[in-house]
């Protein structure tokens, strides 16, 4: 069973629109970490945010905001007033305390296209 | 500048010809890992290392080897590459295994024909 689900394969919006990328996760751990990474067309992976399971406060960083809801096992990412430079593939990932191989479990990614 | 350096960035090879993808980090991180990225699958861990001389399998280790003789280097070895190993590979390092930000290399796009 997939542990991190990013149901939106691709989203296309016009510049300046707000857009939300969904992430639903599955875990039996009480201690876990959630991450978002950005992969621009150049291919590198850029860390955006880390959130631990005990901190449900939403976070805002400039035009980016994250909504963590344990009740729905979701960690959604919103870009406000999108820009062309936001075009990228965005990955949500999960790290569980009980996993023995210490890995990040990744969603399949959402490709975001911002049209000028 | 803190970075993870992978080489080469692009590689086309033939089936069965041994190859090594190098990975080096300058942050004195203990934890390093290798992932492969395939369309629709996200990233999957191949191998990881918690410190020098300590390595273990991830989810998709078949056909790969690694070594960790020095803290900064973590090469990925394909002894006999096959076409199903055509993929985008990433090396990552972090201070700790689970709850810290991972730094990724630029990626190596490998094609096996």
Interface probe for A, chosen from B54, B58, B102 (most Cβ of A below 10 Å), is: B102
Check whether A2 has a pLDDT greater than 80. no
**Predicted pLDDT at B41:** 84
pLDDT (average), residues A62-89: 96
Cβ–Cβ gap B101/A103 under 8 Å: no
Determine if the peptide bond prior to B8 is cis (ω within 30°): yes
**Judging by beta carbons within 10 Å of its beta carbon (0-12, 13-18, 19+), is residue B38 exposed, middle or buried?**
middle
Check whether A100 has a pLDDT greater than 60. no
Residue A106 touches partner B, C-beta closer than 8 Å: yes
Cβ–Cβ gap A103/B45 under 8 Å: yes
- Mean pLDDT for all residues in chain A: 91
CA-based angle B33:A41:A69, to the nearest 5? Answer: 65
Model confidence band, residue A113 (pLDDT cutoffs 50, 70, 90): very high
Alpha carbon distance B27, B93 (integer Å): 8
**Predicted pLDDT at A101:** 58
Helix %, strand %, coil % of chain B (to 5)? 5, 50, 45
**Predicted pLDDT at A29:** 85
Alpha carbon distance A26, A44 (integer Å): 26
């Amino acid at each position: 069973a997939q542990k991190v689900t990013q149901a939106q394969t691709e989203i296309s919006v016009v510049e300046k629109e707000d857009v939300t990328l969904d992430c639903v996760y599955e875990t039996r751990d009480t201690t876990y970490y959630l991450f978002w990474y950005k992969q621009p067309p150049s291919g590198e992976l850029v860390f955006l945010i880390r959130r631990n399971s005990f901190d449900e406060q939403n976070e805002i960083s400039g035009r980016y905001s994250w909504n963590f809801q344990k009740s729905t096992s979701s960690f959604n990412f919103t870009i406000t007033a999108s820009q062309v430079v936001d075009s990228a593939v965005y990955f949500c990932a999960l790290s569980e305390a009980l996993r023995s191989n210490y890995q990040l479990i990744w969603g399949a990614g959402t490709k975001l296209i911002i049209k000028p | 500048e803190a970075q993870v350096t992978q080489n080469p960035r692009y590689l086309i090879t033939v089936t069965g010809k041994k190859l090594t993808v190098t990975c080096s980090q300058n942050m004195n991180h203990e934890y390093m890992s290798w992932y492969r990225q395939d369309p629709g699958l996200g990233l999957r861990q191949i191998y990881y290392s918690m410190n020098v001389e300590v390595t273990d399998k991830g989810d998709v280790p078949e056909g790969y080897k690694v070594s960790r003789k020095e803290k900064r280097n973590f090469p990925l070895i394909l002894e006999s590459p096959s076409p199903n190993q055509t993929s985008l590979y990433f090396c990552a390092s972090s201070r700790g295994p689970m709850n810290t930000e991972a730094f990724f290399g630029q990626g190596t796009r490998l094609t096996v024909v």
